[in-house]
């Protein structure tokens, strides 16, 4: 029996107003393991009415939660972080089983998310207002912070725990309450986080979990006046739809959307070291990462050596069921994602690209969505791969010769989430940092995300920032108090 087959099939409920509950219709949705295509669990599949109940519970709970001190709220968040660390092995196995990423990456996701809970537990204590100097003698001015209100939090499947932690932790720290909607295919690991929150003492109603129809749940988030903010992570297309409709009620929005990150290597960098780092960065979670490097611009003087090492390293990666020891690359998340990858590679090849390794489903596996890590060169500038967000284990390598030209090429996209630069020249690093249109720029750093630094995109990659102090401010309103003193 394979490790994945051993995973017990179970049924999980939604969590509304402090109670685990079924969908009112009794409907359930199956959760599939992408490595084996087996059903590993069923979850309650609700809709609009369950969401309405969850929002009402969150609204009621907020009246007392917002009046507790930041220090008391921090205790719940800190205890949640501790429980997630204690349960990291179980949570990581659940995450791998539903999403496909190797166990080591799943552990990394749980621990990073625990750090996010702990960091916001502390940052909530720093929701400072200001005392502003007065221009008239009899007046005093100050600002205080106020929680935005009930938050609807919608997340995707690629980091189902991390991307909800970036919403739940700052919202609760700020005194808001939350209704979460996970991606339909990956609810299980977030349910595990909810178990930690409940055991950590989260009062009833402050966090709620609804699973079900995306359109019904988001319709209720958008139309229910009790929801004051929607925090969405997902595709740019859905982000735009939410933004259009949120305008009707002027709901606050945080939007974390797609990306198409350039990875730029200058001639003073070591091509072998950087090629190895590039392969790790590119194929992490099969490239299904919003900040995944997806266009590799390598200076023409070192492009040949960089490409040789990248191909060797990509070929050496061990593919398999993420639950099995030593596996470095799991399956892609779903068949649709794999088919889309095949289409992008075929389009690039039909326009003259050389497929140096990979380019097809890995036929060693009878089941599962395994795609070979792929490296391409000689790609035409009109290939879809260079313009559509690939979200795939594909590494297209291009060459360049001048700094200004590569900045223009890197910026030639509607996206502006992440960018990577490899150089040992401080002047080049600064010029690139200032010239690139991206919210997150890793300079000799292929993995820049950390709870204390802002994360988010420019252009069509989103609105606002998560993490860091900005990530807390996203859940706070500023209120200005003007006081006229008695004579
Ligand atoms: P998606 O299709 O936009 O789905 C994301 C979430 O939105 C899911 O929970 C989904 O529910 C829900 N949803 C789908 N249609 C909706 C609608 N019409 N209204 C409201 N909600 C809707 O995105 P995805 O394919 O899951 O995720 C991949 C995308 O997310 C990529 O573009 C990636 O770059 C982006 N992403 C961005 C960041 C960031 O921080 N910037 C991080 C990770 C991922 P169902 O699952 O039930 O359909």
Rounded to an integer, what distance in angstroms lies between the CA atom of residue 136 and that of residue 320?
71
**Nearest atom, ligand 1, residue 221 CA:** 20
Count other Cβ atoms within 10 Å, centred on residue 209.
Answer: 28
Could you report the per-residue pLDDT of 224-256, keeping only the tens digit for each? Answer: 999 999 999 999 999 999 999 999 999 999 999
Percent of the residues in the chain that have a pLDDT greater than 70, as a whole number:
98
User: Ligand 1 center to residue 431 CA distance, Å?
Assistant: 33
Region 371-400: what's the mean pLDDT? 97
pLDDT at 5 over 90: no
Ligand 1 atom 40 nearest Cα: 256
Domains of the chain and CATH, by start: 3-257+461-480 (3.40.605.10), 261-450 (3.40.309.10)
pLDDT of residue 6: 39
User: Ligand 1 center to residue 50 CA distance, Å?
Assistant: 21
Largest CA distance in the chain: 86
| The total number of residues written for the chain in this structure | 487
Answer whether 203's CB lies under 8 Å from 64's CB: yes
Could you report the per-residue pLDDT of 150-167, keeping only the tens digit for each? Answer: 999 999 999 999 999 999
Average pLDDT along the chain? 97
pLDDT of residue 211: 98
With bands split at pLDDT 50, 70 and 90, how would you rate the model's confidence at 284?
Answer: very high
pLDDT of residue 9: 67
* Catalytic pick among 256, 303, 372, 389: 256
pLDDT at 144 over 60: yes
Q: Which residue is listed with tokens 């295509």?
A: 37
Q: For residue 256, indicate whether it is catalytic.
A: yes
Percent of the residues in the chain that have a pLDDT greater than 90, as a whole number:
98
Ligand 1 atom 16 nearest Cα: 214
pLDDT at 1 over 70: no
Rounded to an integer, what distance in angstroms lies between the CA atom of residue 444 and that of residue 421?
6
User: Ligand 1 center to residue 331 CA distance, Å?
Assistant: 19
pLDDT at 55 over 90: yes
pLDDT of residue 329: 97
* Catalytic pick among 176, 180, 196, 290: 290
Rounded to an integer, what distance in angstroms lies between the CA atom of residue 145 and that of residue 80?
25
Give Rg (Cα) of the chain: 23
pLDDT at 2 over 90: no
Give the H/E segment covering residue 458.
strand 458-459
User: Ligand 1 center to residue 421 CA distance, Å?
Assistant: 28
**Nearest atom, ligand 1, residue 417 CA:** 41
Binding-site residues, ligand 1, Cβ < 6 A = 154-159, 163, 181, 183-184, 214-215, 218, 233-235, 238, 241-242, 256-259, 290, 389, 391, 417, 457, 462
pTM, rounded to two decimals = 0.96
Rounded to an integer, what distance in angstroms lies between the CA atom of residue 395 and that of residue 398?
10
Could you report the per-residue pLDDT of 419-461, keeping only the tens digit for each? Answer: 999 999 999 999 999 999 999 999 999 999 999 999 999 999 9
Q: Which of 98, 156, 224 to mutate to test the pocket of ligand 1 (most atoms within 8 A of CB)?
A: 156
**Nearest atom, ligand 1, residue 238 CA:** 3
């Amino acid at each position: 029996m394979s490790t994945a087959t051993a995973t017990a099939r179970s049924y999980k409920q939604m969590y509304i107003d402090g109670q685990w509950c079924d969908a009112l219709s009794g409907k359930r949705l199956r959760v599939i393991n992408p490595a084996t295509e087996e059903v590993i669990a069923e979850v309650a599949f609700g809709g609009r009415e369950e969401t309405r109940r969850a929002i009402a519970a969150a609204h009621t709970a907020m009246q007392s939660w917002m009046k507790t001190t930041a220090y008391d709220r921090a205790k719940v968040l800190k205890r949640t972080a501790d429980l997630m660390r204690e349960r990291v092995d179980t949570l990581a196995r659940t995450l791998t089983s539903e999403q496909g990423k190797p166990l080591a990456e799943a552990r990394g996701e749980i621990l990073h998310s625990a750090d996010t809970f702990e960091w916001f537990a502390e940052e909530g204590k720093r929701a400072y207002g200001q005392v502003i100097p007065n221009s008239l003698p009899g007046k005093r001015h100050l600002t205080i912070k106020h929680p935005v209100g009930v938050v609807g939090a919608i997340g995707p499947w690629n980091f189902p725990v991390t991307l909800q932690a970036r919403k739940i932790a700052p919202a609760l720290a700020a005194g808001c309450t939350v209704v979460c909607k996970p991606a339909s295919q990956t609810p299980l690991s977030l349910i595990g986080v909810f178990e930690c929150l409940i055991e950590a003492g989260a009062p009833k109603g402050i966090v709620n979990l609804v699973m079900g129809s995306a359109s019904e749940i988001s319709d209720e988030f958008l139309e229910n006046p009790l929801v004051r903010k929607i925090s969405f992570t997902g595709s740019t297309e859905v982000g735009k739809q939410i933004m259009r409709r949120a305008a009707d009620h002027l709901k606050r929005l945080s939007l974390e959307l797609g990306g198409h990150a350039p990875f730029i290597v200058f001639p003073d960098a070591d091509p072998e070291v950087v090629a190895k780092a590039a392969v790790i960065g590119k194929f992490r979670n099969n490239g299904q990462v919003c900040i995944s490097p997806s266009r590799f611009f390598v200076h023409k003087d070192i492009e040949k050596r960089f490409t040789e090492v990248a191909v060797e390293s990509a070929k050496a990666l061990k593919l398999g069921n993420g639950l099995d020891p030593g596996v470095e690359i799991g399956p892609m998340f779903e068949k649709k994602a794999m088919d889309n990858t095949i289409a992008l590679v075929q389009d690039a090849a039909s326009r003259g690209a050389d497929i140096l390794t990979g380019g097809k489903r890995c036929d060693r596996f009878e089941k599962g969505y395994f795609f070979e890590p792929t490296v391409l060169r000689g790609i035409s500038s009109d290939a879809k791969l260079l313009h559509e967000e690939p979200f795939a284990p594909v590494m297209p390598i291009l060459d360049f010769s001048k700094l200004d030209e590569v900045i223009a090429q890197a910026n030639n996209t509607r996206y502006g989430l992440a960018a990577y630069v490899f150089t040992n020249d401080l002047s080049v690093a600064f010029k690139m940092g200032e010239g690139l249109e991206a919210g997150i720029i890793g300079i000799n750093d292929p993995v820049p995300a950390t709870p204390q630094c802002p994360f988010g995109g420019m252009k069509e990659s989103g609105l606002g920032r998560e993490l860091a102090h900005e990530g807390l401010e996203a859940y706070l309103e500023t209120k200005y108090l003007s006081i006229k003193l008695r004579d």
